[in-house]
Structures are given as C-alpha cells and as structure tokens.
Amino acid sequence: MTTAPPPEFVKRPTPVRKANRAIDERFGTQAGLRRNLNKVFPDHWSFMIGEIALYSFIVLLLTGIYLTLFFDPSNTEVIYNGSYVPLKGVEMSRAYASTLDISFDTRAGLVFRQIHHWAALVFVGSIVVHLLRVFFTGAYRKPREVNWLIGVGLLVLGILEGFAGYSLPDDLLSGTGLRIAASIAQSIPIIGTWASFMLFNGEFPGANFLPRLYVIHILLVPGILLALIGAHMGILWHQKHTDFPGPGKTEHNVVGHRVFPIFAVKSGGFFMMVFAMLALLGGLAQINPIWMFGPYDPSKVSSASQPDWYIGFLDGSTRLMPPWEFRGLGHTVPAVFWPTAVLPGILFTLLALYPFLEARFTGDTKSHNLLQRPRDTPVRTALGAMSISFYLVLWISGGNDVIAKTFSISLNAMTWAGRIGLIIVPPIAYAVTKKLCIGLQEKDAEIAHHGIETGIIRQLPSGEFVEDHRPKPELVPDHPHVPTDRYALPSANGHDDGHGKGLARRAGKAVSGFFVEEKEPGTPGHDTPAGSEKH
C-alpha cells in the first residue's frame, strides 16, 4: 500500500507533511486518506440537521463525563447538610444530595448540569427533525433502509437514555416518573409483576435501583448509541449522501464540496455553533431545578408533574385513555397498558417498517440516490402530516394541565378536546396535505406549459397590452417534474432576478432551495460544482 511521495513533499517539507509521510511509511494510510479527504458531500441546509444531533451528543458526552466525577448514584439515606438552606436537615438519598452538591457546591457544576440537560432535549429534538427531513424527501428508500432502521433505533435509545438521565437525581419529579414506569411494567399482562420486580430489584422503589440505572445511563446505552452512530455514519460514508435533483445532478453522481477543506471547515464551525447554543441555554435558562422539587418520597407527588418533552406524547396518551380495565382468566389488564406499552410499540414498529411497507405498496424496487420533493409524493407527505398531527395531539395533551392552568381552560374540556382531536384531526391533516401537494403539482405543470408569468404588462405601440412571460424552464434530466427555475418574482425593473446580498435574501434562497433548484437556466458555467463523484 505504499505510494510514491508526490513532488510537493520534496519541495516543502512542512511539519504536517513530514508527520503525514512518517505515518504513511509505517501504516500506508496515504491512499485511504486521500480518497476520504476528497470525498464529496452535497450542500444543502437541510442535510445539516443530523449534524445537530451528532454535535449535541458530543456535548452530552463531554458534560456527562464531568458530572460523573461528582454524582453518587446511591439509594443510601443521608441527612443533607449542604449550602441549600431550605433542605438542610432533610433526609434524602445520596443521589439527590450529590445532585444538590453538584448544583450548589461544585465549581461550574450547575452550568454543566444545565448544559447536559438542554443538550439532551436538543439531541432528541434534532433527531426527530432529521427523521422528518429524511422521511419527507424519501431519503430512506433503497439502498438506505438499513440506515433508516439504525436511525429509528437511535431515536428510541435516545429517548430511553434521556428518561434514565431524568430519573437519576432522585428528586420528586424523577421519582414520580419512575413510579409511572414501574406501573407501566406492572400493567403488562401475565409477566407484569415479575417484569417490575426484575427492573427495580423488588418492590418499587427497589433498594439498589439507582446504581443499575446509572450503569444503563452512563455505560450501556451511550455505548450502544456510540456504536450505532458509528454505523450510521459509516454507512452514509459508504453509500454517499443523497441530493436534490438539479442541473448536473444525476442518480449516479454527487455534486458538492470535498471533505477537505470546505466541508470540514463548515462542519467544524457548525459544531462550535451548536456548542454555543447549548452553552447559552445552559447559562441563561434554568432547567430541572431539582432543589425546588425536594427529595423523592413515594408518599408525595406534585401536581403538574411532567416528563421531558420526548416522553410527553406517552403522558398525553395516558391522560386521554378512558379508564377501561379488562378482567378475565384470573388476570387484570389495566387501562394504562394500552396507551403506554401497546401504543408506542405500534408507533415505533410502523416507523421502522415504513420503507419496506412503502416499497411493497408502490412496487418500487429500484435504488434511488436523488431525493423527492414532498409534493412529488402526495400520499407519503399526507401520511407524514397525519402522523405528525396525531403525535402533536398526544404531545399537547401531555401538558394539558399546564395549558389549562395557563389559559384558564377547564381541564376536562382539554381532555375531551384531546380525545376527539386524536380521532378527527389526523384524517383532516391527511386530506388537506394531499390536496395541497396535488395543487402544487398542478402549478408546476402549468409553469412547465406556459412559462412563468411575470405580472408585467406592457403596452405595444399599436395599443395592445401584452404580459411578459419568462421562457419555459428546462427540465432536469432524470427528474421531469422539477423545473430548473425558481418562482421568484422579478424586481421592479422586471429583469433583475434579485441577486441581493442581504441575509434575508440569502436565507430566502436557502429556503426556496428546499423546494426547487436554485440555478438559473442558461448559465451552466456560472457556478461550476467544486467536485463531483460517481456513485
């Protein structure tokens, strides 16, 4: 695997080149390095959403390592004697006491705790937004189904990891969450009691539960997450990134920037931005003030106890579920079983199987490297909107007590609105979205036929009025539905297409780029892609 050194090495032996040559002479890395640094990634703002999740995961690891230095996951009861006066002399677990110590008696402990928690919220949130981007553009289609499955696994594990972290400090809120988790385990028919006993090492709250949860939170789940993230990105690297159709872009190439230097610099900068956002949140906004909640005691509960947002939809489904209990054959199936065990099971199974179901129903067995616009696939887009509305009704119902209190609405009215909304809103969302997609397609077809109306009326010397039409846009190869022109209205002079320099203008271009190709027709040499690669 040795390669002849390029002439540059001889000419200017800088320290980097020397080190590179030294490594190459020993490990033969040069060829692989060159190949990978020359890899091309497409440029689109929506391809960076997954990076938010990756970078918040790195922030979670860094802050989490700091927190493990001070946290003591022990159920042992102690009398608190730290700096926070209103809890002095109160009996509590070592876990809660050490979380208080992190918050009040450890240098930078509170800000690390808060960054860690905000990063967890943003981590799961950006996974969900990334998933929506992948779904609505059809990026999961063959050959990328496995990466879709890994992504669903990452989402589920991210939720579990977040819940474990929320439960560790052993405050009143986290204990209430664990109490509910224990109830859910108990509600499983036949094996419920044993499942709960196994999880909690006996009757809730088990004697040695927190150390177990700690191992799950800091070793087991993060280890699996890390491995899956590696697999997710390895497969992405190997299969190459998808891209929106556009001039010069086909099913068999990738157009964009090489990893080094542009993509690397851009991603490095973006990592700094993500870290800055999380640090801002952690420094300015309070999160999970456990000292106000008090230590956990199974006999106590606070009203308006809520889980973190990613569990909220299950809380909502529990609130909406009527109290139907089934008894028979010597067993009881409590009402809580259906919304908390069956429902998420169905939802995540459907999510994981969606690529295969779609391939089955559409009969599409080809490989795809170009993305689809949401309007091109009205049924998929409508199904997605339907699922989002279903999720949102559940999610809003999860906070219905806070909403009822804040806006002075009856809690019972909120519950019934959620029950009825859960049934009628998703079909409406489906119908409206499908109609919208078809309407947009019709608009595309109209433009393809007649060109773009400019809205500029001119009077000819003969007195006749005519409207300026811009020429019919060229069609993108391999993708006849996508016009190559933007629907931007011309500016006042009627000809300037608006190459403004303002941030708003650029942001507008970026947004419209999600839907239609940005390049102007007839200027193919203007923006030559910096690199391209064959699939």
Partner 1 sequence: MTETSGTSPDTPPDPAPRAVSTSASADTPAAADLAAAGASADVDAPAGATATVDPPAGTGEATAAGPAVRTRLLRRPSRGRAASARRRRRSSALVLLLGLLSTGVLWSVLAPSGSAAQTSDANEAVRQGRALYAQGCSTCHGLGAQGSNTGPSLIGVGAAAVDFQVSTGRMPLAAPAAQADRKPALYSQTQIDQLAAYIDSLGGGPAVPKVTDTALDDADLSHGGELYRANCAQCHQAVAQGAPLTYGKFAPSLSESTPTQIVEAMRTGPESMPVFGDRQIDEKDAVAVAAYVQHLTKTKSPGGFSLGKYGPVPEGLLGLLVGVGGLLVVCLWIGARQKV
Segment 57-86, which members bind partner 1 (CB under 8 A)? 85-86
For the segment 299-328, give every residue that binds partner 1 (CB under 8 A): 299-309, 312
CA–CA separation, 152 and 158 (whole Å)? 10
Instruction: Put residue 244 in one of left, alpha, beta given phi > 0 → left and psi -120 to 50 → alpha.
Output: beta
CA–CA separation, 249 and 529 (whole Å)? 10
CA-based nearest residue to 510, from 172, 147, 178, 45: 45
Q: Does 391 bind partner 1 (CB under 8 A)?
A: no
Q: Does 44 bind partner 1 (CB under 8 A)?
A: yes
Kindly tell me which residue out of 122, 150, 181, 388 binds partner 1, with binding defined by CB under 8 A. 122
Nearer Cβ to partner 1 (25/527) = 527
Q: Does 136 bind partner 1 (CB under 8 A)?
A: no
- What is the per-residue binding string for partner 1 in 155-194, x denoting contact by CB under 8 A? -----------------xx---------------------
CA–CA separation, 158 and 131 (whole Å)? 13
CA–CA separation, 296 and 73 (whole Å)? 14
Q: For partner 1, which stretch binds (CB under 8 A), given 114-122, 372-380, 452-460, 465-473?
A: 114-122
Q: Does 199 bind partner 1 (CB under 8 A)?
A: no
Question: What's the closest the beta carbon of residue 268 comes to partner 1, in angstroms?
Answer: 12
* CB neighbour burial string for 81-110, b if at least 16 within 10 angstroms, e if fewer: eeeeeebeeeebbbbbbbbbbbbeebeebb
Phi, psi of 468 (to 5 degrees): -70, 130
Phi, psi of 93 (to 5 degrees): -80, 160
Q: List, as own/partner pairs, every contact residues 471-478 make where C-beta atoms lie below 8 angstroms and the sequence separation is at least 24, other chains included.
A: 471/521, 472/447, 472/448, 473/447, 473/448, 473/521, 474/521, 475/448, 476/245, 476/246, 476/247, 476/249, 476/517, 477/250, 478/245, 478/250, 478/251, 478/370
Q: Does 256 bind partner 1 (CB under 8 A)?
A: yes
**Whose structure tokens read 């846009």?**
473
For the segment 494-513, give every residue that binds partner 1 (CB under 8 A): 503, 506-507, 509-511, 513
Question: What's the closest the beta carbon of residue 150 comes to partner 1, in angstroms?
Answer: 21
Nearer Cβ to partner 1 (406/459) = 406
Q: Does 279 bind partner 1 (CB under 8 A)?
A: no
Q: For partner 1, which stretch binds (CB under 8 A), given 17-25, 150-158, 263-271, 353-361?
A: 263-271
Q: Which amino acid, one-letter code, is at 78?
A: V
Q: Does 410 bind partner 1 (CB under 8 A)?
A: yes
CA–CA separation, 486 and 336 (whole Å)? 51
For the segment 412-451, give every residue that binds partner 1 (CB under 8 A): 412
Nearer Cβ to partner 1 (59/229) = 59
Residue 336 DSSP one-character state: T
Nearer Cβ to partner 1 (148/293) = 293
Q: Does 255 bind partner 1 (CB under 8 A)?
A: yes
Q: Does 527 bind partner 1 (CB under 8 A)?
A: yes
Q: Does 392 bind partner 1 (CB under 8 A)?
A: no
Q: Does 134 bind partner 1 (CB under 8 A)?
A: no
